[in-house]
Amino acid sequence: MKKNILLMLLFIVILLSSCSLTPYSRSEFMMDTQCVITVYSRDDLDKLDDVFSSLRDIERMVSRYDEGSDVFRINEAAGVRAVRVSEETFTLIARAKEISLITGGAFNPLLGKISDMWNFTGTEHHIPSQDELESIIAAAGDMDNLVLDEEECSVYLASACLSLDLGGIAKGYASEKAAAMLAGEGVEKAIINLGGNIYAVGSRSSAEGWRIGLQNPDSSEGGYFTVVNASDEAVVTSGSYQRYFMSDGVVYHHILDPSTGYPAQTDLASVSVINSDGTLADALSTALFVMGSADAGAFCTEHGIKAVLLTVDGEISYLGIDGAEG
Ligand code: AMP
Ligand code: MG
């Protein structure tokens, strides 16, 4: 099962490469997914060592399972005490809180205990009862329970039933940081793909951006359902098809509705957000998926967010961008 999920993640977004460019890729498994960086000059390959090393640092910082990580220590001290963290961790958590508030709680980084109960990444799945979920949902629904002290650079989870989970935002942050590092090294063209969190560095040519195909969620059909243009932008996709299990014919996927603790019941099959801010794009793709097409559309219009929504009925909405190109 896990292997199948990983294979799916590899193909979330299909890059439409240019015939005139020669790609040089390096790939590593981290952050529970396959991370691939492609550059278009052989000389740029050497620059990837530092970038992969930085990605590993981010993984160590946000992992919920690595005993030394900031997030592990915050979760261990939930309901007991505040934990000092690195400035980088603090900034990312502050961002997660801010986006949770902007999205009316659709993005919620405090659902770690609930995700653990479902155990989407493991083999032994569990369908939690309302009783099991009730107190966690109530505590997670109050963002004041995520206490941030900027002066102390500390984070405190004010209830023992809370657990921080940055899985909905960390890969977008990592892709953006990798893109900034490459640009800082003078790399003009690159594609960073962290399990479907794409960052398109530079452009394909002076005339046009990168063309990125968005995967058809129906794996039996394969391929992509549309193509978007991106230049120095992230293209981040969230979908129910990315990680799920089936029980008694019912599909249980990994994107949770914070108001129920159950997989979001939404009319959307996939959401892709295009934004130069990879962190925002990642968190928003998760939040918009939870909101469903009507609220997601209104949110994007109000906040000027570029996105592609695909409903389970196959209807595509292009928000802030032109329609399909191929
Ligand atoms: P993504 O693939 O970016 O949509 O993120 C999904 C991951 O974020 C899940 O595997 C969980 O770790 C976490 N998650 C699930 N539901 C939510 C939510 N409503 N808000 C924030 N993070 C979530
Ligand atoms: Mg996300």
The pLDDT of residue 19: 55
Residues lining ligand 1, Cβ inside 6 A = 107-109, 111, 115, 165, 167-168, 238, 242, 254-256, 258, 282, 285-286, 290
pLDDT confidence of 220, banded at 50, 70, 90? low
Q: Is residue 220 part of a domain?
A: yes
Same domain for 284 and 215: yes
pLDDT higher than 70, residue 253: yes
Span 199-208, mean pLDDT? Answer: 92
Pocket test for ligand 1, best of 100, 256, 289 (most atoms within 8 A of CB): 256
Mind listing the pLDDT tens digit for each residue in 164-173? Answer: 999 999 999 9
Look at residue 326 and tell me if it is in a domain. Answer: no
| Residues 153, 198 within the same domain | no
CA nearest ligand 1 atom 23, residue:
168
Inside any domain, residue 163:
no
Residue 111 DSSP symbol: B
For residues 34 and 78, membership in a common domain is answered with no
- CATH code of the domain containing 231: 3.10.520.10
Same domain, 131 and 39: no
36 & 92 share domain: no
Ligand 1 pocket mutation pick from 165, 241, 272 by most atoms within 8 angstroms of CB: 165
E strand residue ranges, 141-253 = 146-149, 154-157, 190-194, 197-201, 210-215, 224-230, 233-239, 244-247, 250-253
User: Is residue 85 in a domain?
Assistant: yes
- The CATH number covering residue 102 comes to 1.10.3980.10
In the predicted structure, residue 28 carries a pLDDT above the cut 90: yes
In this structure, are 150 and 217 located in the same domain?
Answer: no
**Choice between 325 and 258, residue whose per-residue pLDDT is larger:** 258
260 shares its domain with 311: yes
Q: What is the pLDDT of residue 157?
A: 98
Ligand 2 mean position, distance from CA 166 (Å): 9
Residues in the chain: 326
Give Cα separations from 12 to 19, 39, 196, 224, 326 (angstroms).
21, 19, 5, 9, 17
Domain of 302, in residue numbers: 5-46+185-319
Q: Does residue 175 lie in a domain region?
A: no
pLDDT tens, residue by residue, 110-142: 999 999 999 888 888 899 999 999 999 999 999
| Domains: count for the chain | 2
Residues 259, 222 share a domain: yes
Residue 234 pairs with which residues in a beta bridge?
Answer: 199, 275
Statement: residue 239 has pLDDT above 80: yes
User: What SS3 state is found at 14?
Assistant: strand
Q: Is the pLDDT reported for residue 8 higher than 50? A: no
Mean pLDDT computed over every residue of the chain: 91
